[in-house]
Structure 1
Amino acid sequence: MRKLKVLFVFIGALSISLAPAQTFQKMTIEEMFELADANSRSIRMFRLAEEEAGQAVKVARNAQLPSIDVSVSASYLGDAWLADRDFTNGENAAMPHFGNNFAIEASQVIYAGGAITSRIAIAKLQQQLAELDKEKNRQDIRFLLVGNYLEMYKLQNQAEVYRKNIEQTRKLVEDINAKQSQGLALKNDITRYELQLKSLELALTQIENGILILNNQLVTVLGLPQETVINVDTTLLGRLPKLSEEALWQETAVLSSPVLQQMKLNIKQSEYNERIAKAERLPSIALFAGDKLDGPITIEVPPINKNLNYWYIGVGVKFDIASTFKSGKKIRLARLSTQRAQENDLLLQENVRTEVKEAYIRFHEAFTICDTQEKSLELAAQNYSVVNNRYLNDLALITDMLDASNSKLNAELQLVNAQINILFNLYKLKKTAGCL
């Protein structure tokens, strides 16, 4: 049995030694953003979509290049058969048995009613839309990261407050135990504070688990090793932003919001689709040139066993007559699509203005909350000083001292949370205005 215990201890020690060691990394918000830009799989996917759209522009430009067709063939020709129109007096006619054909033709569209240039312009718009999709996703990732980062900061501060409360409650339990031994306290007093101690320890465990979950989400998005523990930058509260005017944020949203810029591009895309629909009513004009080499010459009777080479050059005009009555519906459809895009743009502008105003109000409110918490901390500190003096002069109970201390700790926590809340609302405002 003793050997078995030794074996278990050895296995436990071996498993601990083989576990990956945690690496602590202090990281600012700006450093976190840079890592996300480099390592986020989501951003990488949108970057590939942007490159794909860029390649689509090159493909669309191919329509401006000349087309060249080349054909080569060799064939075996059987003997011919000649007969009267009533299929009488038939006879075989010898044919040269080897046939060959070579043809090359080049053509260049010089006018297509603007359809080609419109399709190239649409491909460019698609590329710009892909760039804005990437930027929008980049800002979404940044906002997610900064939200988790600041929430982890809050939980770490909260955990520190709970640790101090647990330490004070343990001292209180020890003090009450000493008083019970002297007959100055009851057993239920000890039980009550022991229950409070267990509740505090459970809450601390839940907070620490929340920190682990947020840390895991951060390192996953940032592409860091799973054993990395991110330490937040505790100096950021010393660089709180100043309150600025709402009009500045509204102007920023008009210029920077990826969503609004995408709607402008959608309107342009609909306008180009209108041009393409109208181009169907116009003729297309192309230059062409070619050279052909055929043999034998079978249009003569008897056939001439020679090669015939000829070249040609000219201008071709193509016009679809049916488009004069078919394209009207397409043009109306494209025009309605443009009108819908324009109305959607106006609606989106209203929504963005409303969202920026709401975010700005919350940002302004965060400063008010912070001022209130500063006053609460000042009052809690004064109360703690008074109760502490009374306790030192045996004019207050230890429970009064504990309550005053807890109030002061809670006020400190709420002030830090209020300061963090200012930063969170600032980044939310930046995200809403499209400049995160």
Structure 2
Amino acid sequence: MDKLFVFITMFCVSLWTGGVYAQNASGRVITIEEMFSLADRNAKVLYPFATLIEESSQNVKTAKSARLPDVEASISASFLGNGVLLDRDFSNSTKAPMPHFGNNFALEVSQVIYAGGVVNRGIEISKLQEKMVGLSLENERDKLRFMLVGYYLDLFKQRNLLRVYEQNIELTRQVLVDIKAKHTEGVALRNDVTRYELQLSNLELTCTQIRNFIAILNNNLVTILGLPRETNVEPDTTLVSRFMPLDEAGHWTGQALRHSLSLRQSLLTVEMNKQQERVAQSEMLPKIAFFASNHFDGPITIEVPPIDKNFNYWYVGVGVKYNIASLYKSNKSLKRSRLTTRRALQQYDDAKEQTELAVKADYIRYMEAHEQLNTQIKNVELANQNYAIVNNRYKNDMALITDMLDASAAKLSAEQQLVNARINIIYHYYKLLYVSGTL
């Protein structure tokens, strides 16, 4: 009995010092910041967005090319058949010999001088779309980071929980040995032995389930981070000792209104719709272009008989084009664009309200997590006091071994919950960073 007591005491003192489990020497300790860096470089889910940014950058260059002049060149060779001359009543037909080789070369250049702002608006819209794609990448990156934080902290919790169950299994085995010895001596019932065997079986099953969950979480992390498959990710245990800031709710709301990705995307949508309004307005304005052309043709077939010579001519000028139908067509398109802009502004107002609500809710949860930590600290104190009392009673033969085991299990559970409470604070802090767009 004394050996079992010594075992329990050493177990509680040595294994739970600081409330944090020891690192596996074969594992790789990864901090959250390192995890984010690895994900930014290696996560395949971000690759399409990086390519999309390059694509949108090319779209901007394509839109800018509309400012360049249009140059068209054409060349052709043809066979000309003989012509026929007829009177108006289709009588007295006469053959008109033609030069049989025809050629044509033309070079035309045109440059838009004024198009009502369509070109510039198109460039601005392409730039805004490029920014929108950049925000989409940031949004996907933040979603990935927050998901990884969830995996990381779950792994932390599960390893902590596994450690508790493994030690409870060891304690239960020690008790089972003691109960079997008493049963052999005739001072314990067979039912007591069966009860502890059932408890041991349930603990071992739960331990197996926890190990499987840890394997799943570890596989998710190493796959997303691009690490070797055999890597055993170990969370940074110093994380629970970090100080998490206790800023006011107004600070987080202000951060969200400045940095929230959903709000920034909504504002870009509003700006793009305003640019579309200007494009619709430009349809009601004239288009002015400079043009120049050179033609080299042969033979000259407008004369009878045809002249078997080449004829070169050129011209330059300025043209003005106005679509009169835009006066009664484009106004409808313009009204539609204005309604679209109004809807985008309304969606922005709604997104702003939803963001404020989300930040407020997560801030409350964050403060609640701090309160839970204070409660768990108190619970650890009470569990330690209870353990000390039972320990003293056990020494004086006033308590059973089962009372001692229950007290030690309560102590272990309280310390495990204390670590989990600290982990919950970290989780809610990173969630605040996520909803405020500062992750």
How would you bin the TM-score normalised by the shorter chain? Answer: over 0.9
Q: Paired residue for 2:33, among 30, 35, 38?
A: 30
Unaligned runs of 5+ in 1: 1-21
Partner of 2:227: 224
Query: Unaligned regions of 5+ residues in structure 2, if any?
Result: 1-24
Q: Does 1:368 align with 2:366?
A: no
CA deviations 1:96-146 (Å, max 9, x no partner) are 111111110100001111111111111111100000000000000000001
Counterpart amino acid of residue 333 in structure 1 = R
Aligned residues: 415
Runs of 4+ in structure 1 over 3 Å off: none
Q: Are 2:71 and 1:68 aligned? A: yes
Secondary structure at 1:228 match in 2: coil
- Residue in 2 that maps onto 1:87: 90
Q: Is the 8 A contact 1:366 1:418 kept in 2?
A: yes
Q: CA deviation at 1:245?
A: 1.2
Distance 1:73 1:177 in 2: 106
Equivalent-residue separation in structure 2 for 1:187 and 1:375 (angstroms): 39
> Relative to 1, partners in 2 of residues 1:355 and 1:377: Cα closer, same or farther, differing over 3 Å?
same
Mapping of residues 5-404 of structure 1, within 5 Å: 24-404=27-407
Counterpart CA distance in 1 for 2:177 and 2:245 is 47
| Counterpart Cα distance in 1 of 2:289 and 2:59 | 24
| CA contact 1:107–1:288 (8 Å) conserved in 2 | yes
CA distance in 1, matches of 2:103, 2:377: 96
One-letter code aligned to 2:78: S
Q: What is the CA distance between 1:82 and its match in structure 2?
A: 1.1
Offset of residue 288 of structure 1: 0.4
Report the residue type matching 1:400 in the other structure: D
1:74–1:99 contact (8 Å) kept in structure 2 = yes
Scaled by the length of structure 2, the TM-score of the pair is 0.93
Match of 2:423 among 420, 423, 427: 420
Residue type at the aligned position of 1:272: Q
Q: Distance in 1 between matches of 2:150 and 2:61?
A: 40
**Structure 1 position 23, deviation (Å):** 6.7
Give CA-to-partner distance per residue, 1:197-216, whole Å, 9 cap, x none.
Answer: 11111111111111111111
Please give the alpha-carbon distance, in whole angstroms, between the structure 2 residues aligned to 1:330 and 1:224.
Answer: 53
Q: Deviations over 1:360-388 (max 9, x none)?
A: 11111110000000000011011101111
Secondary structure at 2:27's aligned position in 1?
A: strand
In the alignment, the residues of structure 2 paired with residue 345 and residue 59 of structure 1 have an alpha-carbon distance, to the nearest angstrom, of: 30
Partners of 1:344 and 1:236 in 2: CA distance: 39
Between the two proteins, what is the percent identity of the paired residues?
Answer: 53
- The residue identity in structure 2 corresponding to 1:405 is S
Query: What's 2:432 paired with?
Result: 429
- The letter of the residue matching 1:282 is L
Match of 2:425, SS?
A: helix
Deviation larger for 345-354 or 314-323: 314-323
Q: RMSD value over aligned CA atoms?
A: 1.1
Q: Secondary structure at the match of 1:224?
A: coil
Which is worse superposed, 290-299 or 173-182? 173-182
State how far apart, in whole Å, the 2-side matches of 1:69 and 1:333 are: 36
Q: Name the CA distance, whole Å, in 1 between partners of 2:109 and 2:438.
A: 51
1:308 partner letter: F
* One-letter code aligned to 1:386: I
Cα distance change on mapping 1:23 and 1:55 into 2, 3 Å: farther
Alignment partners' CA distance in 1, 2:268 and 2:227: 37
Aligned to 2:378, the other structure's residue is in SS state helix
Q: TM-score when scaled to structure 1?
A: 0.94
Deviation of residue 225 (structure 1)? 2.4
What letter is aligned with 1:362?
R
Separation in 1, partners of 2:274, 2:61: 21
For 1:247, the aligned partner's letter is G
Q: Which moved more, 1:126-135 or 1:320-329?
A: 320-329
1:23–1:227 CA contact under 8 A, matched in 2: no
